[in-house]
Amino acid sequence: MENVSSATLHGSGHAAHHGDYLEDPKGLRSWLTTVDHKRIGIMYMWSVIFFMVVGGLLALLLRLELLTPKQTLITAEMYNRVFTLHGAVMVFLVIIPGIPAALGNFALPLLLGAKDVAFPRLNLFSYYLYVTGALMALCTLLLGGVDTGWTFYTPYSTTTGGGVTLMVLAAFVLGFSSIFTGVNFIATVHTLRAPGMGWFEMPLFCWSMYATALIQILATPVLGITLLLLVMERVMGVGIFDPQLGGDPVLFQHFFWFYSHPAVYIMILPAMAVISEVIPTFSKKTIFGYKAIAFSSIAIALLGFLVWAHHMFTAGMSLFAGAIFSFLTFFIAIPSAIKVFNWIATMWRGSISLRAPMIYAISFLLMFTIGGLTGLFLASLATDVHLHDTYFVVAHFHYVMAGSNLVALLAGIHYWWPKMFGRMYNDKLASVGAALVFLGFNATFLPQFVMGSRGMPRRYYNYLPEFQGLHIASTIGSWILASGLFLGLAVLIASLMKPKEQLARNPWGGRTLEWETASPPTTHNFDEPIALRHGPYDYRPVEEIEASEGVTR
Amino acid sequence: MGTQVSNAAAGPERSPFLQSHFTEMVQQFDAAKIGMWLFLVTEVLLFGGLFVGYGIMHASHPEAFKAAHHHLDRTMGALNTIVLLVSSFTMVMAVWSASVNKKKLVVLFLVLTILLAGAFLVVKYFEYSHKFHDGLLPGKFYTHQGDTVPGQFLFFSFYFMMTGLHGIHVLAGMIALTWLLRRALRGDFGAGYYGPVDLVGLYWHLVDMIWIYLFPLMYLIS
Amino acid sequence: MNWFRDYLLGPQSATHATEVDSLFMFIVYLTIFFFFFNGALIFYAARRWRRKSDREITPHITHNTKLELLWSLIPAVVVFVVFFWGFKGYVSAFIPPNEALEIVVTGKKWVWQFEYPDGTRSLNDLHVPLNRDVKLVMHSEDVIHSFFVPRFRLKRDVIPGRYTELWFRATQPGVQQVFCAEYCGKGHSDMLARIFVDTPEQYETFLREGDEQTRTMPLGELGRLVYENKGCATCHSLDGTRGQGPSFKGIWGHPADGSDGKNYVVDANYIRQSILYPQAVVVKGFEPIMPTFQGLLREREILGVIEYIKSLQ
C-alpha cells in the first residue's frame, strides 16, 4: 500500500487515480487525523452504533426491572440512574448525531457532487468534541451517576448529588459538536453543490439536512446557555432557577424546551431525509411532490421553534398561552402528514423491491403514522392534562425517536452500506432483522400507550399491580426488539468479514450522484468531473429525459 | 495527510491558500463567510439566553436590580465602551488596509486593536477586583453587608455571568487577532486574499456590539 | 364501545372526565383509521406493483396539485377540530367555580399533606364530599411534584415558590388513586395518595373524628399505621438502631435521660407530651428537631401510638 499513498501524494498534477477511501492512506493514525468527510462519517457511525448498544442494554435492564411491581433486580436509586443514563445516551449520543453526523457526513457531499464538506477540519474537531462529550457523560458513573432524568429539571437537578454538573457540561460540549456539524452542512449546501445543481435539483436528503442544520444552529446555543446557567446554579447558587433565592424553576423548563423541542425535529427531519432517498430508489419511481416535501421540511424546522411550551401545559401557564402553543403545535402535524402521503404516492404504481432498506422504510411509514397521530393527543390541551408525564408520552416519543428515527437510521445504514464498504450484506437475514425490529418495537411500546392512558406515570420504579400484565408484554417486546437489532448488527458485521468483492457502483439502481462513483468511493469522491444528466429521482429512460430537456429546464 | 496535499496544485493558477475541495477562491470565501455569519448567529443566541434571563429576573426584582447597579462604576463602564468602539474602528481600518494591499498598515492596525482589547481587560480587572473586595460576588459568595433591598445578589450573578462570558470572548478575540498578526507579519494578506482579516473583523464587531448592549443594561438602570 | 373506552382509560369519576374521554376516543379512532388506511395503501402498493424485473419502467409522475391540496386540507381540518375541542375542555378544567370547597395541598419528598378549611389535616389520604366542587390550592416545599388523578383525568404540577390550582367535582363514591407525576427522586413512585369520595355525612364525620379506619381498628394496629404513615419511621427505628431520634424498641417503662439533666420514665403521659410538645423534653444526645404533631393526630391515634410503643419490648 506504500506505493498507493505515495502515488496520491505526487500524482496530483495528473488526472490522478485515488485509492479506495477506506484504504488510502492506511493506518489508525491516518483515520484519527483524517479530514475526509466519509471517514469522519464512518467514525461517527461506529461510535453511534456503540452507544446505541450501550443505551439499548440499559433499556433492557430497565424493562427487566419493570417485570414485577416491586424490586426485581436493582434498587430505586439505581433505577433512576439507569433511566437517566439511557435517556442521555440515546438522545445526546445516538439520535441527535445519528443520521446527521454519521450518514449526513458520509452522504451529503456525495449527494451534492462535492469533494468534501465546506470545513473539513471543523468537521474532525466536531467529532472529537463528540468523543469528549461522550467520555464526560460516561465519567459521571464514577461520580455516582446522575439521577435527574435527561431533562435536568430544576430544582431537583440543583439539589441532588452525583455527577450532574459533569453530565450537564457533557451535554454542553455535545451541543457544540452538533452546532459545528450544522454550520458545516449549511455552508456546504450553499457553496459546494455540483456545477449546474440548482436548489430544486438537490436530493431531498440535502433539503432535510439543511433544515436540520438550521435548527442545530438556532436552538443549540440556547441549550448551551441554559446548561451553563444550571452549572452556575449548582456551583455558585446564582439564584435564577431557585425559588428560595427569588428565581423561578419553571423558567428552566422554558429555556430547556426552547432547545429541546426543536431538537425533536433535529431527530425526525434527518429520518425523513433518509426515507426520501430510500423510497424512490426501491420504488424505481420519481419522488411525488418534490417541492411539497422540501418546503415542508423547512416549515417543520421553523414551526418547531414556536411550540416549546406544549411541554408545560400542566405547569400552570395562562389559558391564553396554552391555547397559542397548542394551536401552533397542531400546525406542525400538517407538513408531517403531507410528507407521509407524498411517500405513499411515490410507491403508487412504482416498481417496488422489498430489500432490507425498503422494509425499514415501510416500518418507518407505519410507525411514524402512529407516532405522529398520537402526538395529537398530547397537543390537545384537554387530553394532554390527563396524559402528560404518563407512559403514553413515553410510548409516543419512542415511536418518534426510536420507531421513526432509529429505524430510519437503520434504513440509511443498510442503504448506503454497500457504498460505504463496497460489500453487500445478506439481504434475507437483514430483512428478517428488520421485521423483528418492527414486531418487537410495536410489542414493546403499544402496551405502554394503554398503560399511560390508564394512568401509569413515567419514571416509576414501583407500580400498582394492575399494570403488571402490560409491563410484562412490554418487556417481552423489548427482547424481540433487541434480537432484531442484534441480528441486524451481526449481519452487517458479517458482511465485513467476507473477502472484498468488486461491487457494482449502483447496486440498488439509485439516481442520485453517490451511485455514480465507485463503491467504496475514492478519496476524492469523484474521479471525473460531474455532469448532471438528470434530476435526482428521474427514472425515465435516457432518451426520454433528453427529449424533455427543453421543457423542464 | 495525503488527502489534503494531493490536489493543492491541480490548476496552474491555484492560490496557495485555496483548499483542495474548493474550485476557486470566491467559493472558499463564500463558504467561510457563511460559516462565520452562522457562528455569529449562535453567539447572539448564546448571549440572547442570558439577556432573556436577565430581563425576567429584572422584571421580578426591579428594586433590587436598581439598588444593586449603584455599586457599578459608570465612568469605568463608559471608558470601556469608548475603548471597544475605537477598537472596532481600528479593526475596520485593518480590513481596509488589507483590501488596498497596504501590508504595513494591516500590521499597525492589528497591533492597535490588540492593545485596545488588552486595555479593555485591564479596566475590567480593576472593576472586578473592586467588586471582589466589597463582597459583591455572584450567588452564594455574595457577602456584601448593609443591603436595603433583598435579592441584590441576583443582579451580581448576572453581572458576573454576562460580563465574564463577554470577557472570555474578548480574550478569544485577542487570540484570533494575534494569529492574524502573525500571518500579517509573514505578509499573507493583501488585496488578493484577506478573508481571515475580514471574518475575524466580523467577530470582533459582534463582541463590541454585545458590550454596547451590556453597558446600558448593567450600568444605566433608571 | 364503552368497554373499549373503559379498557383504555379506566372508569370516569369526575365531571371533567366525560369531555376528555370523548375527545380521547375521537383521536383514538382517528389514529386507528389513518394507521389502517396508510397501512392498506402501502401493502396494496407493495403487492400490486412488486418489482418483477429490473427493466420495469414506471410512470413519471412528479406531482398532482389537486391531490396534494386535498391531503393538506383534510389533516388541517381534522387538527383544527381537535384543537378547538381540546381547548374547550381545558377552559372548563382551568377555571374553578366560585363556591368550591378549598383544600390546601402541600407536596414534599415524598408525601402529600392536605389541610381542610376547618384546620383538620391529613396525610396521603384526601377526603372530599361527593358531587361538590372542590378546589385544591397546591404548593411544594422542595422540588416540583405533580398531582395526578387518572380517573378524574386531571393533573397539575406542584411547584415550590408558587401556587397552582386544580378543581374537580367527584361523581362516583369510593376511593381514587393519586400519583405524583413529576419525577422527584428516590421515592417518586411511592409518593401516592388516595382520594376518599364521601357522602356529606361521611365527610362531616371524617372532619370530626377521622376516617372509618381510625375509629374502629384496634389501638395497637392503629398505632403501627400512624408510625408507618405519619413519618415516625423516618427517625425512630423499631430494632434499636439509632436514627435522628431514639429507637422505640424497649423504651416503654424504662427511664430516659433528658438533656436538661433530669430523668424521666417513658409512660403514657411522657409519650403524649413528646408527640404534642416535642421540644419539652429532648433525650440526651439528640437534636431538638422533631416537629409537633398537634392537629395532625387525633386523640385515638395518640392512644394508638402509646399502645404500639408498649408492644415493642
| C-alpha to C-alpha distance for B164 and B183, rounded to whole angstroms | 29
Q: In this prediction, what percent of chain A has a pLDDT beyond 90?
A: 78
Chain B residues touching residue A7 (CB < 8 angstroms): none
Q: Model ipTM?
A: 0.91
pLDDT in tens, A247-293: 889 999 999 998 888 888 989 999 999 999 999 999 999 999 999 99
pLDDT of res. A417: 96
**Cβ separation B138–A232 shorter than 8 A:** yes
CATH number corresponding to C101-213: 2.60.40.420
pLDDT at C284 over 90: no
**Cβ separation A184–B35 shorter than 8 A:** yes
Residue of B2, B42, B49 lying closest to A217 (CB–CB):
B42
For residues A350-363, give the mean pLDDT: 96
Chain A residues touching residue B57 (CB < 8 angstroms): 240, 246-247
A57 or A6, greater pLDDT:
A57
pLDDT in tens, C61-75: 999 999 999 999 999
**Cβ separation C41–A344 shorter than 8 A:** yes
**Cβ separation A225–B46 shorter than 8 A:** yes
Cβ(C109)–Cβ(C185) below 8 Å: yes
Write down all domains in chain B, each with its CATH number in brackets: 23-219 (1.20.120.80)
C111 or A62, greater pLDDT:
A62
Band (pLDDT 50/70/90 cuts) for residue A27 is confident
Chain A residues touching residue B30 (CB < 8 angstroms): 190-191
Residue C121 φ/ψ region, left for φ over 0, alpha for ψ in the -120 to 50 degree band, beta for the rest:
beta
Residue of A118, A221, A232 lying closest to B35 (CB–CB):
A118
Interface of A with B in 15-54 (CB under 8 A): 16, 18, 24-25, 30, 33-36
Write down all domains in chain A, each with its CATH number in brackets: 30-552 (1.20.210.10)
Whether C39 contacts chain A with CB within 8 A: yes
Sheet holding C174-180, edge to edge: C125-129, C193-198, C174-180, C145-149, C154-158
| C-alpha to C-alpha distance for B198 and B200, rounded to whole angstroms | 6
State residue C194 phi and psi, 5-degree precision.
-125, 145
A522 or A440, greater pLDDT:
A440
Band (pLDDT 50/70/90 cuts) for residue B13 is low
pLDDT in tens, A414-423: 999 999 999 9
Band (pLDDT 50/70/90 cuts) for residue B11 is very low
Range in A54-68, A458-472, A513-527 with the lowest mean pLDDT: A513-527
Residues in chain C: 313
Whether A227 contacts chain B with CB within 8 A: no
Whether C179 contacts chain A with CB within 8 A: yes
| C-alpha to C-alpha distance for A97 and A175, rounded to whole angstroms | 10
Chains linked to C by 3 or more Cβ pairs within 8 Å = A
**Cβ separation B21–A221 shorter than 8 A:** no
pTM of structure: 0.88
Interface of B with A in 25-54 (CB under 8 A): 27, 30-32, 34-35, 38-39, 41-43, 45-50, 53
The CA-atom distances, in angstroms, between C114 and each of A93, C127, C180 are 43, 9, 14
For residues A190-197, give the mean pLDDT: 93
Fold of C2-46+62-94: Helix Hairpins (1.10.287)
Band (pLDDT 50/70/90 cuts) for residue C213 is low
Residue of C20, C51, C95 lying closest to A383 (CB–CB):
C20
Helices (H), B100-219: 103-134, 152-186, 195-219
Chain C closest CA to A39's CA: distance in Å?
A: 32
The CA-atom distances, in angstroms, between A464 and each of A264, A456, C125, C149 are 31, 8, 17, 14
Chain A closest CA to C104's CA: distance in Å?
A: 16
Chain B closest CA to A197's CA: distance in Å?
A: 15
Mean pLDDT score across all residues of chain C? 90
**Cβ separation A353–C51 shorter than 8 A:** yes
pLDDT of res. A549: 67
Chain A closest CA to C79's CA: distance in Å?
A: 6
Interface of C with A in 256-295 (CB under 8 A): none
Mean pLDDT score across all residues of chain A? 91
Residues of chain C with CATH 1.10.287: 2-46+62-94
User: Which residues lie below 8 Å from residue B59, measured CB to CB, with a gap of 6+?
Assistant: none
What radius of gyration, in Å, describes the C-alpha atoms of chain A? 24
pLDDT at B38 over 50: yes
pLDDT of res. A18: 66
CATH of C217-311, one of 1.10.3720.10, 3.40.50.11810, 1.10.10.10, 1.10.760.10: 1.10.760.10
**Cβ separation A118–B31 shorter than 8 A:** yes
